[in-house]
Amino acid sequence: MKFLVEDTDVVSKVNKYLTTLTLPVDYSVKNLKNSYFDTLSMTLRTYDFGLRTRTYSAPDTPNVTEQTIKTAGQVVGGLHKRPEYNVQIDTNQPELALFPADIWPTHANLQQIQEQLLCLFSTDFVRHTWQITMPCGSEVELVYDVGEITSSGKCSVINEIELELTTGDITSIFSLAQGLFSCLSLRPGLESKAARGYNLFHHREMSYPSRLPVVQTERKADLSTVFYTGMAQALEHLQLCVAGYLAQPKLDILGDFVDSLILIRHGFWLFEQHIVDEQQRDTVRKDLSHFIKLFSWVDNAQLFTELMNKSGAYRKKIDYSEQLVEQLKLEHRRFPDEEQVKKLMVSERFNNLQLTLLELIINKTIKVSPSDQDTRAFAAQKLEQSLSQAQLGGEQTHYIDVAKRLLSQRKQLIRSLLTGNWLGAFFEDSIRQNYRNAWLDVLEGMNELQTLWLLDEQLDALSPRNEKLCSWFDMKIEHLVDTISQSHQHALSIIPYWRD
């Protein structure tokens, strides 16, 4: 389990925490220099293999060099699982023939790969290691690495903690992680040092998600598999959003972050009748709601940013009123700043929420009972229910009343679309996407309507009221309500993909 450190004086804080546990601990420190190898065509990467040499140096001990190959594995919520093989060598040049022959793909030409190997990047860091014996007898290695990755003159900082289970029960590392959250600002590390090094070598930035995922699972999967697969994919999306915001603090990434929290909570709602452990379900859902509420301001912040954007659709009109511009700036300054957001993202409570979700996924601590119907039928039923709850009909005829009704029904439409994110993959992709696009157009109109409504609230706060702007606002609202109604009628004309 890997965490990136957003803190200082780490060794001292770890030592202080471990002292409170009164457990057997063996501490050591050493320098590690690693070189990572592949061919220019990235042959090993195509196998999802990573090859390195490592030289250890520690006080009063001779240097030791070994070669390591890590074969294909998986990463879930910051928990890394990859088989690895180590062989001690005398030089810094790896010899592939020294690894077990059966780890290689049958078509691999080892001699050709060996001849084409070159060093792509290096890592140089100090490693602090605490070997910990837990009360249950489990052995856990806690490692803190600090240094840098270099490639062709470019560098990237290493500042991370890893927890590795040597022997025993995996719950031991979850327990230690919780303790570290209480004394350090951390966040899950989704990329290994090697992955970061490859990105540095190829001049690539880490990619961040732009939209919520549609849960990908086998169409014959049972409810339990769908639930846990969806949780894993949604948690990964959430953590990518955190990494994205900490690297580039933009409101649109923060909006995706909030949407990820809502998607995870929606999964607990969708499957609630099949989740046996109601207490654990409700506890997790309560924590999710806590953070969704904490970040509820993001929606309005995005709207204010759109209104103040000099290239935005409304800025030209807004500029007619200096008083309105100043009012918008004043409201915008009331939102939390970047540092406050970052502090929440690495907070103990938020890290514990992610850890709970990860433990739930890995250990399947929530039991999901089977359905009386097959999973595809279950998906169709839930999608039908969500559609009925998202109907935009009403008896109002005046455009202001219709606008109010549309805004009040926006959340129901979002929930319906989230059900599609969770269960839509059981149906044909192109038909599903065509249907969802029509409803996403409706939602886009609602979002614009919400922006205009916010603008109207700010106009009401002005004294005297700007009649010219108010007249423009009324005209714009009426036109937008008509556009949304047309989009809604088009969406209704498309047969829902789960009925096809």
> CA-CA distance, 174 to 1, in Å (whole number)?
9
* pLDDT tens figures, 152-176: 889 999 999 999 999 999 999 999 9
Mean pLDDT of 89-114: 94
Write phi, then psi, for 86 (nearest 5 degrees): -125, 140
* pLDDT tens figures, 226-254: 999 999 999 999 999 999 999 899 999 99
Query: At 372, which amino acid appears?
Result: D
User: What pLDDT, on the 0 to 100 scale, is given for residue 495?
Assistant: 94
* pLDDT tens figures, 366-403: 888 887 778 999 999 999 999 888 776 666 578 888 88
Strands 61-70 and 50-58: antiparallel
Q: Which residues pair with 57 in a beta bridge?
A: 31
User: What pLDDT, on the 0 to 100 scale, is given for residue 87?
Assistant: 95
- Among residues of the chain, what percentage have pLDDT more than 90? 65
For 288-315, letters b (16+ CB in 10 Å) and e give beebbebbeebebbbbbbbbbeeeeebe
> CA-CA distance, 492 to 413, in Å (whole number)?
13
> CA-CA distance, 101 to 116, in Å (whole number)?
19
Angle at 190 between CA 187 and CA 191, to 5 degrees: 125
Q: At 71, is the secondary structure helix, strand, or coil? A: coil
- Among residues of the chain, what percentage have pLDDT more than 70? 92
User: What pLDDT, on the 0 to 100 scale, is given for residue 54?
Assistant: 94
* pLDDT tens figures, 35-53: 999 999 999 999 989 999 9
Global confidence as pTM: 0.86
Poorest-confidence range of 294-298, 309-313, 417-421? Answer: 309-313
Q: Which residues pair with 119 in a beta bridge?
A: 37
Cβ-based neighbour number of residue 388 at 10 Å: 10
Mean pLDDT of 89-101: 93
Query: At 299, which amino acid appears?
Result: D
Q: Specify whether the CB–CB gap between 123 and 149 falls below 8 A.
A: yes
User: What pLDDT, on the 0 to 100 scale, is given for residue 126?
Assistant: 96
| Conformation bin of residue 472: beta by default, left when phi > 0, alpha when psi is -120 to 50 | alpha
User: What pLDDT, on the 0 to 100 scale, is given for residue 330?
Assistant: 74
pLDDT at 270 exceeding the cut of 60: yes
Q: What share of the chain is helix, strand, coil (3-state, %, to 5)?
A: 55, 20, 25
* pLDDT tens figures, 64-84: 999 999 987 665 655 656 788
User: What pLDDT, on the 0 to 100 scale, is given for residue 370?
Assistant: 80
Poorest-confidence range of 109-113, 215-219, 379-383? Answer: 215-219
> CA-CA distance, 23 to 283, in Å (whole number)?
30
User: What pLDDT, on the 0 to 100 scale, is given for residue 366?
Assistant: 80
Q: Tokens 């309507």, residue?
A: 449
Band of residue 316 on the pLDDT scale cut at 50, 70, 90: low
Structure tokens at 162: 């890893």
pLDDT at 311 exceeding the cut of 70: no
Q: At 47, is the secondary structure helix, strand, or coil? A: coil
> CA-CA distance, 26 to 142, in Å (whole number)?
10
Q: Tokens 């190997």, residue?
A: 117
User: What pLDDT, on the 0 to 100 scale, is given for residue 58?
Assistant: 79
User: What pLDDT, on the 0 to 100 scale, is given for residue 161?
Assistant: 97
